[in-house]
Amino acid sequence: MTFYPVFLNLRGRRAVVIGGGAVAEQKVRGLLAAGAHVTVVSPETTVGLSTLAAENGIELRRRPYRAGDLAGAWLAIAATDDRTVNASVWAEAERAGVPLNAVDDVEHCSFIAPAIHREGDITVAVSTSGKSPALAARLRRRIANMIGGAEARFCALLGELRPDLAARVPDARTRTALWYRIVDSDAIEFVRRGDMEGARGRIDELIDEVRAQESRLKPRLGTARERALQLPLQRQCRAASSLADSEPGVVYLVGAGPGDPGLITARGLEILRSADVLVYDRLVAPSLVAEAPPGAECVFVGKRPHGGKGDRAQDEINALLVDRARRGLTVVRLKGGDPFVFGRGAEECEALHAAGVPFHVVPGVTSAVAVPAAAGIPVTHRRLASAFAVVTGHECDGVSNLDWESLARVPTLVVLMGLSALPEITARLLAHGADPDTPAAVIASGTLPAQRTVVATLATLADRIAEEGLEPPATVVIGEVVRVRELLSAEAVGLTHPARGLVSQA
């Protein structure tokens, strides 16, 4: 059975509760909090209900239910343990058209009373369609841990600013998009720090950005602007781009982090949620792609592990970014890890600069340090490693310009995208003097639920990886710091999904 969720305005309306036990008292207090005029029908009541009646807080009829008790009621609750009574109340409610909730008796319910969490003007209701009130209560508790006083104060601030924002941004569609941008921004962080003026200032900045965009487009669009305003905000610039002299948009190169969607930066997530166009790689989590606005164009440009027909050349990606920005759109180029750590972000910036397209870089958490950390391996250690080097495996297969003699002496060597070239990497390091017994590890799918770690020595690592059948994406760590993993948790604190399925060999 599926129920339609609503929030009822009970202020000044009559509600009838059949029953006088502890559950009935809980329902009565909830109805009173909503402003209802409550009548309780029960031969016996709790002390709390008797007190409310003595204080004229409720009307109390000390007798069993009888037909006609729902006369004039706008809503009713049957809080008895007697299914026969519930059936009688249900029959009257159906005849009179009065919505009825029978506690723990779904067959005699026309509505479900959800588990509710209130914080200021914020109300969150959880329903399991009557199947498990206990689960609903536990989910409410989790929600309560997420929504607290800061959210309530933020809500009050937004309500206070609503008339002013309506005056400053008169177009309804633009204003709606702006509200989403505000609530997705870092304005609430000021509220959490108790800086309400800082929150107001941040919201003012977001309003001014939208007004500046509107004023920039206004003199050029004329009557076309009126047609454009009939479209959602993310499509307005598309309509404006039909004019040859339209202003260019902007491209944001955003680092998505090493894999776990919770490791994107707050700034990166804010920009992602304002995208007109999202251009993303293979290693970007689907849940991050889902953070783009509903009307955004999402374009997958990721390279598959072994290539494929769907792969796009880098010059095609560059052309795509330039084309969408020239239409006046906000383009988010979402890249795994950090855009400037083996991500070809610099090449994309060069192409945008050459095309005269504005761009900004939002750094991300690089897998070079985050993935080893997720496996309990620090890349530096006061006693073991005072430096580390990061190389890409693409430079290790075949002809290489890397200084292997120097790399063999680096305390910690991290290799990204080096799984396929691992035999060549270990062979070159050994040939240039690295100790065969140096601890080494490979972490596959780092920070993700499927994370696996294989630990061996430099001399045996390639064979161990072949035995275990690890697949990309994978990060290689070589150095004494790998030994520290035995002392540290392999499940890094703070990850959305803890690592699991670890395989190790001393």
Could you give the residue numbers annotated as active site? Answer: 281, 303
Vertex 19, ends 15 and 24: CA angle to 5°? 70
Alpha carbons 235 and 242: distance in angstroms, whole number: 12
Closest to 206 measured CA to CA, from 234, 190, 184:
184
SS3 assignment, position 307: coil
Amino acid at 375: A
* E-strand stretches of 161-270: 250-255
What is the token pair recorded at 479? Answer: 């150095």
CB-based contacts of 429, cutoff 8 Å, min separation 6 = 404, 407, 408, 413, 458, 478
What is the token pair recorded at 92? Answer: 């009257």
Q: Please give the C-alpha separations between residue 96 and each of 7, 82, 117, 275, 492, in angstroms, as whole numbers.
A: 21, 21, 31, 51, 59
Closest to 257 measured CA to CA, from 289, 276, 285, 277:
285
* E-strand stretches of 281-372: 297-300, 330-335, 359-362
SS3 assignment, position 324: helix
SS3 assignment, position 158: helix
What is the token pair recorded at 294? Answer: 């509903």
What is the token pair recorded at 245? Answer: 């002299």
Q: Please give the C-alpha separations between residue 74 and each of 12, 34, 63, 181, 214, in angstroms, as whole numbers.
A: 10, 13, 21, 39, 48
Cβ(344)–Cβ(269) under 8 Å?
no
Cβ(33)–Cβ(8) under 8 Å?
no
Distance from CA of residue 427 to its chain's centroid? 43
What is the token pair recorded at 293? Answer: 């606005």
What is the token pair recorded at 78? Answer: 């049957």
